[in-house]
Structure 1
Amino acid sequence: MTARTVAIIGAGRVGCSVGYLLKQGGYRVTGVAARSAASAAQAASFIGQGQPTTDAAQAASGAELVFITTPDRVIQQVCETLAASGALGPASVVIHMSGAHSLGLLSAAVKAGALRAVLHPLQSLASREQGVKTLPGSYFRVEADPMARETARSLVTALGGTELVMPEWSSDQDSAALYHAGAVAVSNYFVALVRYGLKFYQALGADKQEALKAVLPLIKGTLLNIEALGIPDALTGPIMRGDSETVRGHLAAMRRKAPHLAGLYKELARETVEVARDKGSIDGKKAEELLKLLTNAECGVRIPE
């Protein structure tokens, strides 16, 4: 199946980025729909193609590939509206790009005779301009009806992406949610983790923004190590070395000066013990010693200083 005409329903960061890249890849964007005429016009201008409209059915009519890039909460409703309008048919492939949901949101498309696909990039898109730069080179989750798989994979190639192969994947909501939770953990929770780390410096009187500038080279260096060495080999630090005394000192200092930071520290330390074991830098005995230290701290046992 070699569908080449595209409609973008939802003219936000994702829709604009995808539309622009597909146009660059030889696809023809025929329609761009948004809630307001101004947003639709701006999106069509950014993409460089497509008739702007506030009517989703009009935008989708005649397009072989219909991307629903709206907020997750309205994807199903938009698909139902398109199906009821007659804008979808046997020549259509309807695609959403939500990481947290599976093909089920597009069930109305099946009733209209259309095929379905899900393409989700493992990427954070802060703006449409950034999306154009960062989507190429990203991995994508690809889920599709059997007759639409070739089309879905061709779209990933056109976007400059790579399919993430997950042999244990099943087309259900739990698989989608588990996949999305992984993305949230390494992206959204990473931001929260950096904020948590800054609190240690704020407890010592440092300005938050200055502390962020101070730790950014460390963060960047760590990411370079992960890219070059992988996990667990990129792990460094006291737990990697089996340095119980340094960890003991951290816990004692937190008890005295920043007790509100200790809970997450201990949870992260437990996970790091497992990484160190995987790396082979500590043995089972040292791992047990570290875990006992963290457990005693959790239970309120006084830590010798």
Structure 2
Amino acid sequence: MSEQMPDQLPATDWSSRSLRLNCVGAGLVGKTLCHLMARHIQLNQVINQSQSSAQQAVDFIGAGRPFGIGSKPLTHLEPADIWMITCPDDLIASVGNKIIQSGRLQPGNIIFHCSGAISSKIFQIPKLADISVASVHPIHSFSDPRSSLESFSGTPCAIEGDPKATKVLDDLFQSIGADLFPINSESKSLYHASTVMACNYLVSLLELSKMMLSQAGVDHKNHSNPLKGLIEQTLGNYLTGDAQTALTGPISRGDVNTIASHLTALENAPSNWQKVYCSLGNIAADISSKQSLASPQSLQAITKLLNQKDADRKYD
């Protein structure tokens, strides 16, 4: 039996257009988007490697027909107007182009993927095929699809590709509450690196701060994280202001001796800790120079310390 999920937005006239969607690779991202889109477009097939995995996705979505691509020939794929590829990044090219080469796509069809790092140019469309390509990347964490159904509305989505495809997909994604913005195809890798820094590497940085805390002898395993309030305040200040209003601490004040003591302490820690500290410290020094709180001489001395430690590591 299909699971009942909360509805996000009232149905639009997409259903009257009878546009059909096939989803290839309905994992966390695919089944979330399919569930949200199912009231705005006709969902045909949900295509996964195995029939059982496809059935599980259909049960979550509440619409569509499961298709196990690993056990059935591609000639059994049903026609669709839009083909959404939501498999892992490393499989997009092979899976997407296999679908294209199967001959199941028809003139006027759209094929797109949801990767942040890869452009739509990865699809190899035969000349004169009249098939449009695009990519739409939601800046959203899909770790919990149920939660994503509630929180997706308002999600920024980067979109690029052929004009026809981007126009149709812009309308479709807006119908589920997305906030789309265009991006240059050639800039996708750098764009995606920025999202990884803000999400994945932020987790790494916070975990590193806890590791330093433990190295300093602070027991936080049986207590709440002592850094929690500081983290929340800093993120809040940044999100409601900017880097110049959010940055505090020794580099903001120009405390050269404090930075020197940090670097000395980090000499007894794993070498990559000091490397991260120095790299981020240089960025903090650039921000601090715009605050006008620390003197240019202090910031110059701090930058010299950070860069000297970086140079020392290269020649160890």
Q: TM-score, normalised by structure 1?
A: 0.86
Classify 1:75/1:151 alpha carbon distance in 2 versus 1 (closer, same or farther; 3 Å): same
Out of 10, 15, 39, the position equivalent to 2:53 is: 39
1:232 match: secondary structure: helix
AA aligned to 2:55 is A
Classify 1:216/1:38 alpha carbon distance in 2 versus 1 (closer, same or farther; 3 Å): farther
**What is the CA RMSD across the aligned residues, in angstroms?**
2.5
Using the TM superposition, give the Cα deviation of residue 67 of structure 1 relative to its aligned residue in structure 2, in angstroms.
Answer: 0.4
> Does residue 153 in structure 1 map to residue 170 in structure 2?
yes
2:80 match: secondary structure: coil
Cα distance in 2 for residues equivalent to 1:147 and 1:259: 52
Cα distance in 1 for residues equivalent to 2:181 and 2:275: 34
Q: How does 1:201-280 map to 2 (within 5 A)?
A: 201-207=213-219, 209-210=221-222, 213-255=225-267, 257-258=268-269, 260=271, 261-280=273-292
Would you say the 8 A contact 2:160–2:182 is kept in 1?
no
| More helix as a share of residues | 1
Using the TM superposition, give the Cα deviation of residue 93 of structure 1 relative to its aligned residue in structure 2, in angstroms.
Answer: 0.8
Would you say the 8 A contact 2:121–2:133 is kept in 1?
no
Using the TM superposition, give the Cα deviation of residue 154 of structure 1 relative to its aligned residue in structure 2, in angstroms.
Answer: 1.3
> Where do 5+ consecutive residues of structure 2 fail to align?
1-13
Partner of 2:125: 108
Partner of 2:142: 125
Classify 1:282/1:163 alpha carbon distance in 2 versus 1 (closer, same or farther; 3 Å): farther
Using the TM superposition, give the Cα deviation of residue 14 of structure 1 relative to its aligned residue in structure 2, in angstroms.
Answer: 0.6
Question: Residue deviations 1:136-167, cap 9 Å, x none?
Answer: 2221110120222211211331232222345x
Out of 17, 29, 49, the position equivalent to 2:32 is: 17
Q: Percent identity?
A: 28
Question: Residue deviations 1:97-151, cap 9 Å, x none?
Answer: 1111111222237664311110011222213223323432221110120222211
Classify 1:92/1:219 alpha carbon distance in 2 versus 1 (closer, same or farther; 3 Å): same
Partner of 1:81: 98
Out of 283, 289, 300, the position equivalent to 2:301 is: 289
Partner of 1:303: none
Cα distance in 2 for residues equivalent to 1:153 and 1:284: 48
Cα distance in 2 for residues equivalent to 1:60 and 1:30: 10
Q: TM-score, normalised by structure 2?
A: 0.83
Would you say the 8 A contact 1:79–1:109 is kept in 2?
no
